């Protein structure tokens, strides 16, 4: 597969990762407000926290995202500039990077968003694996004598 196609695929995967983190947090906050039990899924929340933690640590240590570096290197091998590519990858890059905004603002946003996800994890914690509140209610109902 040629480097330009790989770079196009990579930028779409990168955008999907960002969408997972941002929309996942929005969904968690909405579930917290509306008492959605699904948002307490331990594995979803752990993966979500790990994803933004990786990005926040990059921001703290001023490390450029390896996916961004990889895409830029593939584009260079293909003789392309990042913003001189087909429509969909170009739009994905514009969504990810907002040309003209200094890099330090992205770092601060990544760190701040990581803090928000961590606070949500603490104040609206996930349910630990094996803990199913529905089963506890069923057990207590089965143990109580039927109403006469």
Integer-rounded Cα Rg, in Å, for the chain is 21
Question: What is the per-residue pLDDT across 10-63, written as a single tens digit (0 to 9) for each?
Answer: 999 999 999 999 999 999 999 999 999 989 999 999 999 999 999 999 999 999
Distances (CA, A) of 74 to 10, 30, 47, 109: 9, 38, 28, 27
pTM of the model as a whole: 0.81
């Amino acid at each position: 597969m040629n480097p330009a196609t790989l770079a196009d695929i990579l930028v779409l995967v990168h955008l999907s990762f960002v969408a997972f983190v941002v929309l996942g947090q929005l969904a968690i906050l909405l579930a917290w407000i509306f008492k959605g039990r699904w948002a307490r899924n331990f594995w979803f929340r752990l993966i979500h926290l790990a994803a933004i933690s990786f990005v926040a640590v990059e921001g703290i240590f001023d490390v450029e995202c390896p996916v961004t570096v990889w895409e830029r290197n593939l584009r260079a091998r293909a003789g392309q500039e990042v913003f001189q590519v087909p429509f969909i990858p170009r739009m994905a890059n514009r969504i990810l990077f907002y040309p003209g905004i200094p890099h330090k603002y992205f770092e601060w946003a990544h760190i701040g968003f990581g803090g928000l996800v961590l606070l949500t994890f603490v104040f609206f914690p996930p349910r630990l694996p094996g803990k199913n509140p529905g089963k506890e209610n069923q057990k207590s109902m089965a143990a109580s004598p039927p109403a006469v």
